[in-house]
A and B are shown apart, each in its own frame.
Chain A
């Protein structure tokens, strides 16, 4: 079951310029694994060395912060969307 992943323009440099990609996986973590398998350079931008979410990059499943659900183990369902939102400080 494909799930769309939306990336900000700041991360698109690591995905060949693509800001909306499709990934496969039963959980958010598995879908990100699928994305990172194709674009290894984006991996360290999405999770830390231990494979855990960063405190400064929020991953949303639809409009829910996965840190408040089951983290990367959060189940993905048909029609869901994953949105990656790193902290930015520009003003």
Chain B
């Protein structure tokens, strides 16, 4: 049985904990006092995905006493390339379940509090206000602005990290004297301008780099050591192995942390230009099975694949013409107006944009292949891999 040392709980450390944290206790910058601070700290991870996985693992290993995790997703096999909290045997299970299991194994002295909810303007202030620091590992602009504003309003610092393809950003926002995310980016890009990692891809190890930097900033802040990444934005370029720090000062005109005119959480879907689906968003579509049936009856169709050439190497449509979406504009004059054109991609999202563009360019015999090659693999040809 372990012996409890002074001071009184909950920041007291047992013998087992003292031994576990030996390498921290050897550091004068951490020591017994620092380790007690870590144990007393409450950190909320928003998202248990690419960034949240490494951050949670290291925060747990470091002995942060209470880790809250907000996530409502289930583990998908495509997550495993980077989301190291979860394993192959846990595909299909809630991410919170695998996170709790894994973190308990890493450090049973840590209390993990699952919050199986979507973070919303209704629950954000209460959730975030119950913690000392937030680690923002979300994957969309609307939630990033929500996290930022809730952190400003509750006075909870935000260890921010964000990634796309090979590039990452890290900063510590919403400290008492520092800037917030809105100081850096006053407005989000219009919806659809910046692709998500699900559309544009991400190097699997990149969230490992960025998430551990977020955990580092969180631990430094809790301990009160070093130079926090406040007022600075760290840019990580994995391709060139070049790291750069740029100035990100507080904006006195910032409505959140400057003038403080933002006193309640606004509508983030509206802020980010996200509308509920509308009838006018629908484009004419055809299912993979219908396409096969039409080809079988000898219809003269053009199957237009708007993916990138490297994607076709992974999974190809039979008898398709490849014109990547980015080149479609130049190719419009060469497309036939007297044939039915079926536009296809991976999931049906890019091809829907292409169908809209072609309709706007005066084509009317044009359809979207619903569900893309993912549905093609499900419904027509399982030998075509899904990616």
A residues with a Cβ closer than 8 A to B are 8-10, 13, 19-20, 54-58, 60, 63-65, 68, 83, 85-91
Contact = CB atoms under 8 A, between A and B. Distances in A.
A62 B138 CA distance: 29
B138 A89 contact: yes
Nearest to A20: B240
A91 B189 contact: no
Contacts of B195: 10
B47 A91 contact: yes
A86 B194 contact: yes
Given A56-B188, A58-B185, A83-B235, A88 B247 contact: no
Given A9-B167, A88-B164, A89-B196, A83 B244 contact: yes
18 contacts: A9-B164, A10-B164, A10-B194, A10-B200, A55-B186, A56-B185, A58-B185, A63-B244, A65-B248, A83-B235, A85-B235, A86-B189, A88-B162, A88-B169, A89-B141, A90-B197, A91-B49, A91-B51
Contacts, number: 97
B166 interface: yes
Given A10-B194, A90-B202, A83 B167 contact: no
Given A55-B186, A89-B162, A9 B239 contact: yes
Given A10-B195, A91-B52, 4 more contacts: A8-B166, A10-B165, A86-B194, A91-B138
Contacts of A86: 189, 194
Interface string B68-104: 0000000000000000000000000000000000000
A63 to B, nearest CB: 4
Contact of B240 (A19, A54, A65, A68): A19
A90 B247 contact: no
